[in-house]
Amino acid sequence: MPPKPAASRAEDSPAEALPPELRKLAALGVQRRYRTHAVLIEEGDQGDAIYIVLSGRLRAFVSDARGREVTLGLHGPGEYVGEMSLDGGLRSASVQAVEPTICAIVTRETMLRHIAADPEFALGLIKRLIKRARLATESARSMALLDVYSRLRQFLEERAQVRPDGSRLITEQLTHQQIASEIGCSREMVSRLLKDLAEGGHILRQAKHITLMKSMPTRW
């Protein structure tokens, strides 16, 4: 893991944009800054803290011995990762920064005291865990029941934003490997499907941006 930069109290500036209930928790931790690609959490490590995102963005993912990765989720300001460490078990996924990121790090002991003292926060945490469980179920359903093209189509349509001319633009700069990690397939498969869709006039690829020019076919 990269050297940890100097820490500061988490009640400083970026936390001001958080919801009030999360701001109180962030104030109990310390802030750390992470460079792009820095690894905050490694799968299999002992968990002892949660990370509240104050600015930037984190990616949670799992990988195998051959280095293949599947992205579990992206987390921006006002979200947090690592809460499953509350049971004292090992980390179930790795987390890295996908852009320069500032987090408030709160220890497991501090988190448990805060939960005991703030029932409303505890209820919110339960709801969050239920939501993640539902998302995990949907992801598993997608992997099991949808073919690769259907997963790619779903991914592109969910990320696209409608523009005045009716086209839909994915503003996020995505590499083919990033897309492959999100939908659970090879980079080569993503490249081939995107090339076919571009040749069919369904999408327009410019640099790392993708524009959906017309409705994508339900099957390919």
Statement: residue 179 has pLDDT above 80:
yes
How confident is the model over 176-189, as a mean pLDDT? Answer: 87
Least confident of 10-14, 40-44, 184-188: 10-14
Residues 6+ apart with CB under 8 A from 119: none
**Integer Cα distance of 90 and 133 in angstroms:** 18
Mean pLDDT along residues 151-172: 87
Non-local CB neighbours of 187 within 8 Å, separated by 6+ positions: 176, 177, 180
Flag whether the pTM goes above 0.75: no
Give the model's pLDDT for residue 3: 43
Task: Look up residue 21 and give its two tokens.
Answer: 């209930």
Segment 78-94, tens digit of pLDDT: 999 998 878 888 898 99
Cα 5–Cα 7–Cα 13 angle in degrees, nearest 5: 120
**CA distances from residue 33 to 14, 55, 59, 106, 156 in whole angstroms, order as listed:** 11, 9, 15, 14, 31
Give the confidence band of 18 by pLDDT, cuts at 50, 70, 90. confident
pLDDT of residue 68: 79
pLDDT higher than 80, residue 205: yes
The number of beta carbons lying within 10 Å of the beta carbon of residue 10 is 24
pLDDT digits (tens, 9 = 90+) for 133-155: 887 777 777 666 678 899 899 88
With 60 as the cut, is the pLDDT of residue 177 above it? Answer: yes
Query: Residue 175's pLDDT is what?
Result: 87
Q: Identify the band that residue 98 occupies on the pLDDT scale cut at 50, 70 and 90.
A: very high
What phi and psi values does residue 127 have, to the nearest 5 degrees? -60, -40
Residue 11 above 50 pLDDT?
no
Q: Which domains occur in the chain, in start order?
A: 8-144 (2.60.120.10), 147-212 (1.10.10.10)
CB 79 within 8 A of CB 53: yes
R_g over Cα of the chain = 19
Whether residue 72 is predicted with pLDDT greater than 80 in this model: the reply is yes
Please give the pLDDT value at position 122: 86
